[in-house]
Amino acid sequence: MERLRDITRGQVRIAAAILTLIGAVYTWQATKLPIGDPIGSEEGGTPMVIGVLWVLFGIYVTLKAPAPGAQDDEVGTWPSRAMAMRLIAVAALCGAYIVLLPWLGTIATSFLFMTAMARMCGAPWLRSMAASIILAVAFWLLFVNVLDLSLPTGAFFDALRWG
Amino acid sequence: MDLLSAMASGFLVALQPENILAALVGALVGTATGVLPGLGVLGAMAILMPITLHLAPVTGIIMLAGIYYGAMYGGSTTAILLKIPGESGSIVTTIDGYEFARKGRAGAALMICAVGSFIAGTVSILGLSLFLPFLSDAALSFSSPEFCALAVLGALTLIRITGGDPVMGMMMLLVGMGLATIGVDAVGGSTRFTFGTESLALGFDLVPVALGLYGMSELLQVLQTRKGFPKAESVRLRDMVPTRAEWSRAWPAIVRGSGIGFFIGLLPGPGSLTSTFASYGIEKGLAREHKREFGKGAVEGFAGPEAANNAVATSALVPVISLGIPFTPNVALLLGALIVQGIQPGPLLLSQRPDIVWGLLASMYIGNIALLVLNLPLVGLWVRLLRVPQYILVGSIFVVSIIGVYTMRSSMWDLVVLFSCGFAGFFLRRMGFDMAPLVLGLVLGPIFEKSLRETLFLSGGDLSIFVTRPISAVLVGLCVVALALPTVFAWVKRRGGWSKTVPAP
């Protein structure tokens, strides 16, 4: 089994620095909001307090960043190359879900998403597709027919239906 | 309205067929989700919360409370059968509960935990019914400065008690509070930090953030390792009856655990972990002839902590219902659900919406009975659930989460937030950042801002108002204690102060 690389103190420091940088941008934006009279009573007051403290604590964490220490395969280690590839694939699938949902609708998008997920989990094609179509339809029935919610039917299918 | 008639009115609400169904479905679905290792109570609640938001307010909250209970019960099941705690409150159960199960007594352990949880829940609900009117009356004397100080106290105690690095916790809390300010300003109605985009004007809703940070990041963990869910041994119904000797050892621990859990739950801060460790310590301290069994499967070692964990789950609702301030992420989600349903928890909730409060309390009782009556016979089903192929479970949970989040506001932005928080949570947790303060910050942020701005209006910008009002001054004092005490203890310990006064264990 591939040995997982430990997350180093420097890498935690980089993550803390990124969070601090976001805090700095947030604080800079907060300075553009009215603080009000008495001071702090308008919409810029609280963000200013939050932003300044965010940056101060962020700088402290960046400087003192404690190494998480490799505890198991969940904390303190980076994913292996194979794990990272799977994560990238999941990220791509999540992105595809957002893009496809308005076009293909809930059933078709969920079917494709679950089939891809099942394949990633090592299921054979036929089983993946069979389980995914049953589940996609079941979820549609649950949310739309039982809970009476509105879900996208898909512009593509709407266009087919209405010409 | 006296207590009995209030409770009776609560049962009238809870016993409506749709509410009984909601409590039962919530308890069952919560258990099913809680049984899946890794998701935890918060993950289970976050995944299922969007569904409850489409029901009537009382029914939705009752279902969510059922999910809360069910997920906790499911967490203790995996703690006993697989040595995997479903949530922090089940960590102690893994010590003796799992060892007890290894002796071939898994069924008896589950039965003791279920009965103990039922007794603890009953004690806690009765206590809650007695305390709540009193606390709600007391809360009427709270004004903006007190709420502001209480919000800070809740945040500080969470950061101090959870055991992680307090400075990192503080930073994550501030990140959560910062996210809460993005979008429409709840006080003035203007938009902030939107960079002119409609998406950011929608802000960061609690559900996609919490679901991403907890539920989705756990699913990513399952997917990246491809290990799947661990398998548990089957438990037969006839093996579930504890012996007379086991019962006689369990019930005093259950009674003590119930009391400990109830009172710790009333205090600000995450009581789950504290109460279970306190109960374990007390049971170990009180044990005479069975002391050596602790760590190797002592009945008291899991009966007491499980009872404490269940009692704390109920009494932790007191600050939410009476003050509108949550002290744990789980309860913060409940608060978020109430707010989304258009119900503002706080001192006026009991007088304005007694149907919600007493209906919730009564339904908790029904949920407790449901857990006992339904879940024990169904324990075989829960074990079998762990055998459902990973390829079916993971994809299904993903899609239910996605659809649930989407249906809340029909917004693609919420899906972007969900996925972003999932991946961010996955990596930040690996680096040792705790996500609980972020979720709490997202809930406490608006409470803190609203009360701070009102306080500043009230005092004309004079911050001394926080120390000139008696209740507020006490809360500020407690904030200072929460902030300074652990540091002082650590300093004294470093200087060897303890070794001179306290004998080593």
Q: How confident is the model at residue A60 (pLDDT cuts 50, 70, 90)?
A: very high
Question: Which tens digits make up the pLDDT trace of B243-266?
Answer: 899 999 999 999 999 999 888 887
Select from B149, B172, B143, B146 the least CA-distant residue to B481: B149
Sequence-ordered list of residues with C-beta below 8 angstroms from that of A7, at least 6 positions apart, any chain: A67, A68, A70, A76, A77, A78, B430, B431, B432
- For residue A93, what pLDDT is reported? 93
The answer to whether the Cβ–Cβ distance between A121 and B223 falls below 8 Å is: yes
Contact (Cβ atoms closer than 8 angstroms) between residue A70 and residue A4:
yes
Q: Which residue has the tokens 């499911």?
A: B74
CA distance A157 to chain B (A): 19
Residues B450, B486, B330, B454, Cα dihedral to 10°: -10
pTM surpassing 0.90? no
Decide if A97 touches B, using CB distance below 8 A: yes
The answer to whether the Cβ–Cβ distance between A74 and B221 falls below 8 Å is: yes
Contact (Cβ atoms closer than 8 angstroms) between residue B26 and residue B67:
yes
- For residue B501, what pLDDT is reported? 45
Q: Kindly state the DSSP code that residue A147 receives in the 8-state scheme.
A: S
- For residue B270, what pLDDT is reported? 61
Q: How confident is the model at residue B107 (pLDDT cuts 50, 70, 90)?
A: confident
| A-B contacts (CB, under 8 Å) | 193
Print the SS3 string covering B439-502: HHHHHHHHHHHHHHHHHHHHHCCCCCHHHHCHHHHHHHHHHHHHHHHHHHHHHHHHCCHHHHHC
pLDDT of B388 > 60? The answer is yes
Within a domain: residue B504?
A: no
What mean pLDDT value characterizes chain A?
87
d(CA A32, CA A44): 8
**What is the residue range of B247's domain?**
3-493
Sequence-ordered list of residues with C-beta below 8 angstroms from that of A115, at least 6 positions apart, any chain: A128, A129, A132
Distinct helix (H) and strand (E) counts, chain B: 25, 2
Question: Which tens digits make up the pLDDT trace of B397-408?
Answer: 888 888 888 887
- For residue B335, what pLDDT is reported? 81
Which stretch, A135-139, B10-14, B63-67, B329-333, has highest mean pLDDT?
A: A135-139
What mean pLDDT value characterizes chain B?
82
The answer to whether the Cβ–Cβ distance between B419 and A66 falls below 8 Å is: no
- Interface mutation vs chain B, best among A6, A12, A18, A41, most B CBs within 10 Å: A41
B33 Cα distance to chain centroid: 15
When pLDDT is averaged across residues B109-114 and rounded to a whole number, the result is 88
Q: How confident is the model at residue A61 (pLDDT cuts 50, 70, 90)?
A: very high
Length of chain B equals 505
Sequence-ordered list of residues with C-beta below 8 angstroms from that of B480, at least 6 positions apart, any chain: none
pLDDT of B181 > 90? The answer is yes
Chain B residues lying within 8 Å of A11, measured CB to CB: 431
More confident residue, B26 or B171: B171
CA distance B105 to chain A (A): 29
- Interface mutation vs chain A, best among B391, B411, B453, B483, most A CBs within 10 Å: B391
Within a domain: residue B505?
A: no
Decide if A148 touches B, using CB distance below 8 A: yes
pLDDT of B178 > 90? The answer is yes
pLDDT of B224 > 80? The answer is no
Select from B311, B314, B335, B312 the least CA-distant residue to B323: B335
Q: Kindly state the DSSP code that residue B86 receives in the 8-state scheme.
A: S
Sequence-ordered list of residues with C-beta below 8 angstroms from that of A72, at least 6 positions apart, any chain: none
Q: How confident is the model at residue B503 (pLDDT cuts 50, 70, 90)?
A: very low
Structure tokens at B443: 């809930």
Chain A residues lying within 8 Å of B457, measured CB to CB: 38, 41
Decide if A96 touches B, using CB distance below 8 A: no
Q: How confident is the model at residue B275 (pLDDT cuts 50, 70, 90)?
A: confident
Sign of CA dihedral B22, B23, B24, B28: positive
Q: Where are the domains of chain A?
A: 9-64, 81-162
Within a domain: residue B501?
A: no
Within a domain: residue B97?
A: yes
Question: Which tens digits make up the pLDDT trace of B283-341?
Answer: 888 887 887 888 888 999 999 999 998 888 888 887 788 888 887 777 888 888 888 77
Structure tokens at B321: 């219902």
Chain B residues lying within 8 Å of A23, measured CB to CB: 174-175, 178
Residues B480, B482, B484, B486, Cα dihedral to 10°: 170
Work out how many domains chain B is built from and give that number.
1
- Please report, rounded to a whole number, the percentage of residues in chain B having pLDDT higher than 70: 92
Q: What DSSP line would sit under A61-121, residue for residue?
A: HHHH-------SSSSSBPPPHHHHHHHHHHHHHHHHHHHHHHHHHHHHHHHHHHHHHHHHT
Question: Which tens digits make up the pLDDT trace of B63-101?
Answer: 888 888 888 877 788 788 877 766 667 778 888 888 888
Which stretch, A66-70, B5-9, B35-39, has highest mean pLDDT?
A: B5-9
Q: What residue in B sits closest to A48 (Cα-Cα)?
A: B178
